[in-house]
Structure 1
Amino acid sequence: MSASNTAGTAILGAGIFAKEAHLPALQTLGPLAPKLRAVYSRSEKTAREFAAQATTLLNATPDVYYDGNPSFNLDTLLARPDISSVIVVLPITQQPSIILKALAAGKHVLSEKPVAPDVASGAKLIAQYEAQYKPKGLVWRVAENFEAEPGYIAAGRKVTFFSSRTVNFMDKDSKWYNTPWRTVPDYQGGFLLDGGVHSAAALRVILPSAMTYLSGFASLNKEWLAPHDTINTIIKNADGSHGIYELSFAAPSPSRTSAGGGLVFTGADGWLQVQQTQVRDLIHNVEKPILRVTIKSATRDANGVLGPEKEEVIDEPMRGVELEQASFFAAIDGKDDGLGSPLGALKDVAVIQAALTSSGGLIDLEKLISQS
């Protein structure tokens, strides 16, 4: 694919992640991505600022669309025949209606995670896509960058038990907190849904079988992170393995975030750990994020004697947004690798919803999805 032989794309939404992740990913993909022809935001000011940044990064000036002017609103953008796809990076509760609007206009859609605010609305959205728009050849994928990260994919192994522990420090001066739709969330779980689907997706990619049952508790420990900021759960998988899944945004200070966290998977012959860390790019003299997979393994001989432990370290650069975009554009060209499946993203929402509503009861994750 190149910008010269395909219709262009548009970005709907001009917030932090659109600026700091999606634009740089398009820049990295270069001719592998279609030309960015338009940007949309609810406010003209935000849209123009985003377009200016896009011009700097991509050496192309996208047209600006915003609410309040019929000549330059979203409907006008979606009516353009030279735009075949859109990347939707909007607040959680707004996305389903915009996804359907874009599909109805004949556009392929890559929408940011989560797939929907809850399992029921996500299931309804998927059913409508599969009935009305998939038969027309339209592609809809969900941009879950943890699913695309090579480091998580490399970590897939036979698992006996596991632990996933993530504790985040979220204060009122954080740029992630200071957006209106996060400050007063109109969706379940607050940051737990918005950020938690990432760690659920990482488990979905690494575990060799599907997560099937969950029991846990949710709580609110910092009033400004309502409705919930912490979940602690246990999960059983289809193959009988089980583990702990914990997530919190209520760390009392930044130092708590590095204490006892991360992903650890234990199997019959060893264990592995997946950690996000930084390494220095000696060429550009900057720190870059990576996923480091450390694998420790030891086997027993015929007499049952445990042999020496071996260590393997796999470092993979974090480039999930770039890869999810590349997969989406390839799928439009008929080269579908299955990445970004809306059903996969729905399973991530189901994990978070079950954790928020369990109150200690056992929830069947597959039933939660199938009955929605």
Structure 2
Amino acid sequence: MAMAMDGEITRQPAMALLGCGVFARDAYIPVLQALGTSITLRFVWSRSQAAAQEMVQRVKGFAPDADAEWGEEGLEHILASPFVQCCAIVLPILSQPGIVMRALRAGKHVLQEKPVAGSVEIGLQAMHAYHGMHHEAPIWAVAENYRFEPAFDEAGKLVKSLGTMVAVTVAIEVPMTKSNKYFDCEWRRDPSLKGAFILDCGVHFVAGLRVMTGCDIKLVTAIATHRDATVPAPDTLTTLIRFDNGCSGTMVISYASSVSKACWRVVCSRGTVVVERGVREGKLGYIVTLNPRGGEGESSSQFFPFSGLEEEWRTFIADVQRSNGSPDLRSSPREALKDLAIVEAALASGLHADAPVSVKPASI
């Protein structure tokens, strides 16, 4: 429960949105509006006054009492406020972990945007600090919403029903042109961010792959290339994967493509399952196709509209209301760190040696 400014007890959590960039504006704001009375937006914060004030005007239609804060003083005010139970943190990767830990230490539940950190090392440091809070720790959730997409859950059930996994293919193609709203994002072009767009979004694709296969990845061998001078290097990563069940696969992620494609394909001993991004009846989503082995059943196709982001938020709010101290497993920092470790290992192989790299630490 939360206490309103006039002393009235309310049941919905009060939250602060830390970060006013493109994704916060175009993805989080519509979801917060759709959630309605299940959560109260109390503050929006940015490093700059202009961004915070522009964002607060956007939310006034559904959060009329929200205030804008900015800079270090504004952040301190939010973290000290007894009227804020949770923070949604949508900031540049390299600066985000420090603010996440400040919010957690201030007793605020946190839903942070992926990836969990810019490196496994920093992510592990944050996890160790978090675990040091013991039973008094607030909830820490990481937003990698592909785990919440019903399409991958359904695909995982189908894969499990089809016997032994034989081979896996993932193809992600994204035209990172000037028409893409993330093209001019300065922090994604920071040389200190090793892996650029691939590190940022690769954890999404790996999360979907792990849900669909139900497997962890032990070893990767990759080749990183740079074909588009307007996109930070590397823009393409081709990875050979060895799963912990002995199956092998490939994953190609390219931000130098001329067309958009997102496809996960798992070949099993009794059939094949494909998840592919598509459109039906004007809605964006995923098409899940089952092709059984000849003579063992009919092929089928199901369409699932995008819903992962909203489902992730609803789960986080429910966890906060229960106040049980731990998030749903799908949004746990541990799972997010595993995804990051896989992407980091592939980048290490592709950027430095083109040689096999074990996914470490195995004990995450």
CA shift at 1:22, angstroms? 1.1
Task: Determine if the alignment matches structure 1 residue 37 to structure 2 residue 31.
Answer: no
Alignment of 1:310-325 (within 5 A): 310-325=298-313
Deviates more, 1:83-92 or 1:322-331: 322-331
**Partner of 2:7 in structure 1?**
none
| Partner in structure 1 of residue 348 of structure 2 | 357
With the length of structure 2 as denominator, give the TM-score of the two structures: 0.90
Q: Give how far 1:31 is off.
A: 2.6
Q: Percent identity?
A: 33
Range that drifts further, 113-122 or 330-339: 330-339
Match of 1:84 in 2: 85
Structure 1 stretches of 4+ moved >6 Å: none
Q: CA–CA distance in 2 between the matches of 1:368 and 1:106?
A: 29
Is the partner of 1:114 in helix, strand or coil? coil
Q: Is the 8 A contact 1:123 1:369 kept in 2?
A: no
**Cα deviation code 1:319-343 (max 9, x no counterpart):** 1111111111111233653220111
Q: Deviations over 1:209-254 (max 9, x none)?
A: 2111111111222233223111111111111111111101012x3x
Q: Is the 8 A contact 2:16 2:41 kept in 1?
A: yes
Q: Which residue of 1 aligns with 2:65?
A: 61
Contact residue 54 and residue 61 of structure 1 kept, 8 A:
no
* In 2, Cα distance between equivalents of 1:315 and 1:29: 23
What is the CA distance between 1:59 and its match in structure 2? 4.4
Partner of 2:316: 328
2:47 corresponds to which letter in structure 1? R
What letter matches 2:114 in structure 1? K
Q: What's the counterpart of residue 219 of structure 1?
A: 225
Cα displacement (A) at 1:54: 1.1
Alignment of 1:133-148 (within 5 A): 134-148=134-148
1:292 aligns with 2:287: yes
1:4-43 matches, cutoff 5 A: 4-32=10-38, 34-43=39-48
- Report how far residue 185 of structure 1 moved: 4.5
Residue 189 to residue 369, structure 1, CA distance change in 2 (3 Å): farther
1:288, CA displacement in angstroms?
2.1
Q: 1:200 aligns with which of 206, 213, 216?
A: 206
User: 2: distance between equivalents of 1:288 and 1:363?
Assistant: 39
- What amino acid is the match of 2:54? E
Q: AA paired with 1:276?
A: R
Compute the displacement of 1:369 (Å): 5.0
Distance in 2 between residues matched to 1:185 and 1:292, nearest whole Å: 36
Does the aligned pair in 1 maintain the 2:316–2:328 contact within 8 Å? no
Instruction: Give CA deviations for 1:146-198 in whole Å, capped at 9, x if unaligned.
Output: 11111111110233211001111112453202122123342110000111111
Q: Look up the SS of the partner of 1:61 in the other structure.
A: coil
Give structure 1 stretches of 5+ with no counterpart.
281-286, 299-305
3-state DSSP of counterpart to 2:112: strand
* Structure 2 equivalent of residue 348 of structure 1: 339
Number of equivalences: 346
Shift of 1:297: 0.9
Compute the displacement of 1:7 (Å). Answer: 3.9
Q: Identify unmatched segments of 5+ residues in structure 2.
A: 5-9
TM-score by length of 1: 0.88
Contact 1:177 1:183 in 2 (8 A): no
